[in-house]
Amino acid sequence: MTSTLRLAEVTAANFDAAIELRVHPAQAHLVVPVVKSLAEAYVHPGVAWPRLIFDGDRLVGFLMAFLDIDFAGDGTGTDIRSGLWRLNIAAGEQGRGYGRFAVEAVAAEIRRRGGDRLTATWHAGGGRSERFYFKLGFRLTGEMSGDQVVGELALD
């Protein structure tokens, strides 16, 4: 990983490049396009934290975190979580540490806000994304979110 990695907000100046970002075709069915994530960020402005991942001036990925949501969705506020909502690394850019950088950046933001765990979801079955999260130290919670498993990373 280089020292030129950085996150940037999505702006009018980089919006077109952001929505053109594509993952590897074999993974397209596993993640939604960036434009859908940005639409969700628009309708969830207090929760969504979308960021572009740059290596120098080159756009290499997109992440969107969720911050302080009622994960159970039951309105009780007893299960407030923050974590990684979306991660899209551009085709041809995987295996270079950008995904790890994204998770570490989300972890840093959650810590900055006083959180002590990072939640993420992925498709189970031993695929590349599952191996990626396990390698970073995520542990399964035993929960499902739709058709995805839920994992957590302790931030202490």
Mean pLDDT of 5-10: 98
Mean pLDDT of 105-119: 97
What CATH number should be reported for the domain holding residue 129? 3.40.630.30
CA distances from 83 to 69, 74, 93, 125, 156 (A): 9, 18, 23, 21, 15
CA dist 156 and 49 (Å) reads: 22
Positive/negative CA dihedral, 134, 29, 34, 113: negative
Each residue of 113-155: pLDDT tens digit?
A: 999 999 999 998 888 899 999 999 999 999 999 999 999 999 9
Each residue of 43-94: pLDDT tens digit?
A: 999 999 999 999 999 999 999 999 999 988 899 989 999 999 999 999 999 9
* Distance from the first to the final alpha carbon of the chain: 24
pLDDT at position 73, please?
87
Total residue count of the chain as it appears in this document: 156
39 Cβ neighbours under 8 A, 6+ residues apart: none
> Taking the model in full, what pTM does it have?
0.94
Domain coverage including residue 97 = 5-154
CA dist 127 and 24 (Å) reads: 14
Q: If 0-12 CB within 10 Å is exposed, 13-18 middle and 19+ buried, where does residue 24 land?
A: middle
Neighbours of 41 (CB within 10 A): 18
Q: Residue holding tokens 């923050």?
A: 82
**How many domains does the chain fold into?**
1
